[in-house]
Amino acid sequence: MTGGSSGIGLAFARQLAARGYALVLVARGKERLNAVAEQFRAGGVECETMCCDLGVGNDVARLCSYLDGHAVDVVVNNAGAGLYESLVDGDMDRIEAAAALMAGAPVRIGAAATAAMAARGKGTLINIASVQSFVPMGAYAALKSFVRVWSESLAVELHGSGVTVTAVLPGWVRSDFHRNSGGKRSGVPDALWLEPDTVARAALAAAARGKVRCTPTVRYKIIGFLAEKGPRCAVNWVARKINGSGRKADRG
């Protein structure tokens, strides 16, 4: 699990541990990563750690090398960062760094993982995208749209290999992700927040069925359907309204 020490990644780790899997947790913060790993080990779970900043090429290469040399059955590409930057006048360095973390790293990790899995004739790759990938709402949505389409393309390439690829499209998830992202999204209704365990449980169930897409909960399935299939003029209008209110909030 990348991003395995908190939020959705930690929820995946707990559920996979409960199913008898040994864990390899990957995260940037060493202290928290080690603390989480010790909790698993205290419960009798075999748990390795890799302290990696997946926005850095050398760290991504180190993780890919591990995947080349070890039989990993399930890989969860979950590392990410909130990104509330304007595509016109936002911080381009932040956008490029987010692209490396949320697009470049998953592609390299996914290639290394699925090549090794295909050679063994089995394996599961789960990529965390977002229901926001259907709505033109800035750099974050664009990057998550890439993750979704890349996952679907990878699934087509791997058809018949015994390797499944599932793109997970959650909405708002209660985690440190939003608290650490710098975005002010306190106006999100309670009904739209998901628990990390809900997302992980739905994703693992979908992956077990070989589903290429997983949108957790009925309400987000409806939102995703409307965003993907609805009239683009209406979807774009909603995106403009949300972007407008978000930028006003972010600018204080």
Look up residue 179 and give its two tokens: 């608290």
Whether the CB-CB separation of 217 and 168 falls below 8 Å is answered with no
Residue 175: the pLDDT is 76
pLDDT digits (tens, 9 = 90+) for 21-59: 999 999 999 999 999 999 999 999 999 999 999 999 999
Look up residue 32 and give its two tokens: 């928290």
Class (C level, CATH) for 7-250: alpha beta
- Judged by DSSP in three states, 165 sits in strand
What is the DSSP code string of 109-168?
A: HHHHHHHHHHHHT-EEEEEE--GGGGS--HHHHHHHHHHHHHHHHHHHHTTTTTEEEEEE
pLDDT at 215 over 80: yes
**Integer Cα distance of 48 and 44 in angstroms:** 13
How confident is the model over 188-192, as a mean pLDDT?
80
Record the pTM: 0.90
Collect all residues with Cβ–Cβ distance below 8 Å to 222 and sequence separation of at least 6: none
Task: For the chain, give the number of residues.
Answer: 252
Q: Where are the domains of the chain?
A: 7-250
Residue 151: the pLDDT is 98
230: left (phi over 0), alpha (psi -120 to 50) or beta: beta
